[in-house]
Amino acid sequence: MQDDASLLSWVPRLRRYSRALVNNRDDADDLVQDTLERAWAKSSLWGEVADMRAWLFSIMHNLHVDGVRRPRLHTVTMDDDTPEVPVAPTQGDRLAVMDLQAALDLMPAEQKQVLLLVALEDMAYADVAQALGIPIGTVMSRLSRGRERLRSLMEGREGRAEPARLKVVK
């Protein structure tokens, strides 16, 4: 059984994953809020939940995939919680950052989810399979395709040619 403090303790990690998945601060926090509220609505099940992290991420994943996004008037947040100006990176950092974010946006959702859970959340493959409700073999194939897709996007964007990959068609 979880107490309220332990659900609070998940907020930073849920936000990190959501931000990488959605790439828009307000939408990402909306997704976290929906996830938390869904988790509380199902709090009677907590006693049976073996792995709270996998469970919470599965809720978030389902909300994200089902497109259960709340209908709302689009407003831009302006309050104390949201500094208007993010920390300004150096010029070099900015280029790299934009590349990665842009590349993530171009990735298929199912590959991105697996990649982020493994590479960012450091989740074990079996936990990823549980969180996403897919067989572990599917996790591995999506991970493989996702990593390769991200690599080609990043390298293509940065204009790094790979002569070794060019082959003469016979």
Partner 1 sequence: MNTDRPPPSIPPVTEADLHAFVDGRLPAERQVEIAAYLAARPEDAQRLEAYRAQKRELHALFDPVLDEQPPQRLLKSARPRAVPQTPWYLQRLAAGIAIAVISGATGWGLRGGLPAGGDDAGRMAAAAPAERGLTLVSAGGFAQRAAVAHAVYSPDTRRPVEVDAAHEDQLVAWLSKRMGAPMKPPHLQAQGYTLEGGRLLPGGQGPVAQFMYRNELGSKLTLYVSNDVADVGSAAGPGAATKPGAKNTDTAFRFAREGTVNVFYWVDGPFGYALSSDADRSVLAQVSAEVYRQLGAPR
Q: Which residues bind partner 1 (CB under 8 A)?
A: 4, 7-8, 10-13, 15-16, 19-20, 29, 32-34, 36-38, 40-41, 43, 70-82, 87, 96-97, 100-101, 115-116, 118-120, 122, 124-125, 140, 143-144, 147-148, 150-151, 154-155, 164
Q: Would you say 18 and 43 are in contact if contact means Cβ atoms under 8 Å apart?
A: no
CB of 150 to partner 1, least distance (A): 6
Residue 6: both structure tokens together: 């332990």
Q: What are all long-range contacts of 157-162, with beta carbons under 8 Å and residues at least 24 apart? A: 157/99, 157/102, 157/103, 158/99
Among residues 11 and 134, whose Cβ is nearest to partner 1? 11
Task: Name the token pair of 61.
Answer: 């994943």
CB of residue 169 to partner 1, shortest distance in Å? 19
Q: How far apart are CA 126 and CA 33, in angstroms?
A: 26
Write down the least CB distance from residue 133 to partner 1, Å: 20
| C-alpha to C-alpha distance for 131 and 61, rounded to whole angstroms | 8
Taking the CA atoms of the chain, what radius of gyration do you get in angstroms? Answer: 19
Residue number, 8 or 65, with CB nearest to partner 1: 8
| Cα–Cα distance, 69 to 63 (Å, whole number) | 7
Q: Which is nearer to partner 1, 28 or 58 (CB)?
A: 28
Distance in Å, CB of 76 to partner 1, minimum: 8
Taking the least distance from each CB to partner 1, the nearer of 16 and 53 is: 16
